[in-house]
Amino acid sequence: MEFARISASYASWHTYDRKLKAELFSTALVAGNELTVIDPIALPPAPQRELESLGLVVRIVITNANHVRDAVAFAQSYSAPIFAPAELRAQLPLSHSLQDDLTIGALRVVRVEGAADGEFALYHPDDAGTLIVGDALINFDPHGFTLLPRKYCINQKQMIRSLRKLLDLDFARIFFAHGNPIMIRARERLESLLNS
């Protein structure tokens, strides 16, 4: 487990899940003394104390139907509401359903059709803009920054069309549920990826 304070506004942590054979990443948005935790995975005590030193967890957001991860434990520990895709309503009865153009705090929710079930991206406009994505985009070895492979998509062509609407937003950074963040020129890199 690695925990890192990325900037004044963001922290990220990740671990390798042997069962899924994938690197899992979680992101925390720091706004004042409030934290929004996205796609949370459990933290050992020392990194958890480090997270808590940044502020109070006031909400949890799940970016797609595959990312429940440790959201329920976080919600119980911090008495925080869960915002999740409607596909998870039966599994998470206390959650608020995500929908396109919903605003959660300063985060804007953007539906990404054709990727994983119930896929959403989150956009934060401050400090040159930040995008937080679930599975539609990945950034880890050996693949690098790329699209979710076709075999994991509901419809990859539809996903690519849907991702193009993210180019209407201004953002310098992208955080991923699977991969290291891109901290500079992220919008240009996404545009180049979608045009290739």
The model's confidence at residue 166, banded by pLDDT at 50, 70 and 90, is: very high
- CA 115 to CA 134: how far, in whole Å? 9
Superfamily per CATH, domain 2-195: Ribonuclease Z/Hydroxyacylglutathione hydrolase-like (3.60.15.10)
Give me the residue spans of the domains in the chain. Answer: 2-195
Residue 60, burial from CB neighbour count under 10 angstroms (0-12, 13-18, 19+):
buried
Taking only the tens place, the pLDDT of each residue in 77-119 is 999 999 999 999 989 877 799 999 999 999 999 999 999 999 9
Rounded Cα distance between 50 and 6, Å, is 13
Percent residues over pLDDT 90 in the chain: 92
pLDDT value of residue 94: 72
| Structure tokens given for 125 | 């406009």
The 10s digit of each residue's pLDDT in 129-153 is: 999 999 999 999 888 999 999 999 9
pLDDT of res. 145: 98
Position 78 scores a pLDDT of: 97
Summarize the confidence of residues 167-193 as an average pLDDT.
98
Buried b (16+ CB within 10 A) or exposed e, 26-59: bbbbbeeeebbbbbbbebeeebeeebeebbebbb
Distance CA 86, CA 92 (A): 9
CB 38, CB 27: distance < 8 Å: yes
If pLDDT is split at 50, 70 and 90, which confidence band does 22 have? confident
Mean pLDDT in the chain?
96
Give this prediction's pTM. Answer: 0.96
Which tokens is 97 given? 């359903």
Cα torsion angle, 133, 103, 96, 51, sign: positive
Residues 111 and 119: beta-carbon distance below 8 Å: yes
User: Is the CB of residue 119 less than 8 Å from the CB of residue 167?
Assistant: no
